[in-house]
Structure formats: C-alpha cells, structure tokens
C-alpha cells in the first residue's frame, strides 16, 4: 500500500480512537457506572466498498 494510504488510514483511526475515548469517558462520568461492566460495539463502514467491520468488547466502570 502507498504511503499516502497508510498516512490517511492512520489519521482516521487516530481520530476514531481519540473521539471515541472522549465520548465514552463523558458518558461514564455522567452515569452510575461504579463496578458495572458494559458491552461495547464499534462499527466502521465504507459504503462504496461494501465494508462493514464490527469490534465488540467490554468496558468496566471504576470502583
């Protein structure tokens, strides 16, 4: 893959990571999350390539 492709993908994934972390942290602060575990799903789509990619996991609130 080209350097331009790699750089643009890394930039996008960094933006996804940073903005997602900020949104999750804000939601966790605003809710009663102590000791609770939450199921999480992130979906990335590229409609023009008919791509849907899902990542699932769990996030546990602070004690």
Lowest mean pLDDT among 3-12, 24-33, 36-45: 24-33
pLDDT tens for each residue of 6-24: 999 999 999 999 999 999 9
Backbone dihedral angles phi then psi of residue 21, each to the nearest 5 degrees = -60, -45
What is the token pair recorded at 4?
């331009």
The answer to pTM > 0.85 is no
Separation of CA 48 from chain center: 21
Rounded CA Rg of the chain: 15
């Amino acid at each position: 893959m080209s350097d331009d492709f790699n750089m643009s993908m890394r930039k996008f994934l960094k933006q996804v990571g940073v903005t997602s972390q900020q949104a999750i942290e804000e939601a966790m602060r605003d809710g009663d999350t102590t000791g609770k575990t939450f199921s999480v799903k992130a979906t990335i789509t590229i409609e023009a390539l008919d791509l849907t990619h899902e990542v699932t996991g769990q996030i546990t609130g602070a004690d």
